[in-house]
């Protein structure tokens, strides 16, 4: 009889244990990859914001303009020469709540959600969410209202869209106000740059629609954080849960080519106000100076104690500067 002592058993069973461990690891990795891919391309978070009834819109009134591109949502007030405020990228008409009635004293003011923003409903299934598409959307909205020429203003992404529209259609823009605007061919923050990565971008945007995340986003943009009230937070959050808007966010980050707008800056003759929050952590204030250097017909105003959304963060000085700038539009 041959006796096997205990020391011989681990040597015999060790390859079996290794194979099992490798199979378990491979299965775990495959499950993780499948879960991530499903989260990015299969799972859709609930559109909880659809149930929200906006007190702001109940007060000012929603309007809609139907075009082949989209059913544009906008608010309107006042009479006089037209001023169009493009909703800041990633939010809605609430982004100009403190400017609407002030500017309406002297102008017909339109605040519009472009495709992928706010309460506008996209109709064109092939809409590209690139610079050409966003410029065409601005024109389609103006045409639908019969507005041949207007002053334009935008904040963040929408400042870049306003700039691109003015560059391509200078005869249609009387004045241009750029508030902490994109438009330079420079990288964004690490968080925004990460949205350009497939899978990661889809997951990141889908997972950022909770109210606590939106609060962090809003407060991170502003110096005067007390201005992020519960009502403003609800208004900001609701359209961020809409599926079209979620998809637009990562597609816009990937497809907007700001090299086009930067190259055209020296030839941009539209009178331009460059208005910037000094404490902007998303578009650093150095970019305001760079825009001012390249634009041939500009005014530069830096607001101390303001962040990336100065019209919400510091509405009083923003309103004064916009009123003065648009006075002879």
DSSP string, 149-179: SEEEEEETHHHHHHHHHHHH-GGGEEEEEEE
Sign of CA dihedral 76, 302, 161, 202: negative
Beta pairing, strands 81-86 & 107-113: parallel
**Residues 14, 15, 18: CA angle, nearest 5 degrees:** 90
| Res 141 pLDDT > 90 | yes
Q: What is the mean pLDDT of residues 306-317?
A: 98
Whether 277 contacts 285, CB under 8 Å: yes
Whole-model pTM? 0.90
Three-class secondary structure assignment of 47-89: CHHHHCCCHHHHHHCCEEEECCCEEEEEEEECCCEEEEEECCC
Q: Distance (Å, rounded) from C-alpha 299 to C-alpha 325?
A: 9
Asked: is 55-187+258-326 a CATH 3.40.50.300 domain? The reply is no
Alpha helix locations (H) across the chain?
A: 8-41, 55-60, 100-103, 131-145, 157-168, 190-194, 200-206, 211-221, 230-237, 243-255, 258-264, 286-294, 310-313, 315-326
Q: What is the mean pLDDT of residues 268-273?
A: 98
Q: Which of 24-33, 79-88, 187-196 has the highest mean pLDDT?
A: 79-88
Report residue 38's pLDDT band, with 50, 70 and 90 as the boundaries: low
| 283 φ/ψ angles, rounded to the nearest 5 degrees | -120, 90
Summary mean pLDDT of the chain: 91
Contact 301, 314 (CB under 8 A): no
Q: Contact, 106 vs 130, CB < 8 A?
A: no
What does the block give as tokens for 256?
């907007």
- Residue 70 neighbours by CB distance under 10 Å: 24
What pLDDT, on the 0 to 100 scale, is given for residue 34?
Answer: 67
**Position 118 pLDDT exceeds 90:** yes
Separation of alpha carbons 197 and 97, rounded Å: 33
Q: What is the CA radius of gyration of the chain?
A: 25
Q: How far apart are CA 255 and CA 201, in angstroms?
A: 13
Q: Is the pLDDT of residue 42 over 80?
A: no
Per-residue confidence band for 37, with pLDDT thresholds at 50, 70 and 90: low
């Amino acid at each position: 009889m041959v006796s096997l002592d205990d020391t011989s058993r681990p040597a015999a069973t060790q390859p079996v244990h290794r194979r099992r461990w490798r199979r378990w690891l491979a299965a775990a990795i495959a499950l993780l990859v499948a879960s991530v891919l499903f989260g990015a391309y299969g799972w859709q978070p609930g559109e909880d914001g659809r149930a929200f009834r906006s007190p702001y819109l109940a007060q000012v009134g929603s309007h809609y303009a139907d075009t082949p591109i989209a059913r544009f949502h906008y608010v309107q007030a006042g009479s006089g020469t037209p001023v169009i405020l493009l909703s800041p990228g990633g939010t809605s008409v609430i982004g100009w709540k403190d400017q609407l009635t002030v500017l309406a004293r002297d102008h017909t003011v339109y605040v519009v959600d472009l495709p992928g923003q706010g309460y506008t409903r996209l109709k064109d299934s092939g809409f590209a969410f690139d610079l050409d598409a966003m410029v065409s959307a601005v024109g389609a909205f103006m045409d639908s209202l019969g507005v041949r020429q207007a002053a334009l203003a935008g904040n963040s992404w929408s400042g870049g869209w306003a700039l691109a529209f003015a560059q391509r259609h200078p005869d249609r823009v009387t004045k241009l106000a750029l508030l902490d605007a994109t438009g330079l061919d420079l990288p964004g923050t690490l968080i925004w740059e990460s949205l350009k990565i497939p899978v990661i971008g889809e997951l990141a945007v889908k997972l950022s629609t909770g109210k606590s995340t939106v609060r962090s986003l809003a407060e991170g943009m502003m110096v005067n954080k007390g201005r992020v009230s519960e009502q403003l937070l609800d208004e900001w959050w609701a359209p961020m849960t809409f599926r079209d808007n979620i998809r637009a966010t990562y597609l816009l980050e990937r497809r907007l080519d700001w090299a086009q707008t930067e190259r055209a800056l020296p030839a941009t003759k539209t009178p331009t106000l460059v208005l910037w929050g000094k404490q902007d952590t998303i578009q650093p204030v150095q970019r305001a100076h760079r825009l001012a250097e390249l634009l041939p017909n500009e005014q530069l105003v830096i607001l101390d104690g303001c962040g990336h959304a100065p019209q919400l963060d510091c509405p009083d000085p923003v309103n004064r500067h916009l009123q003065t700038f648009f006075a002879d539009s």
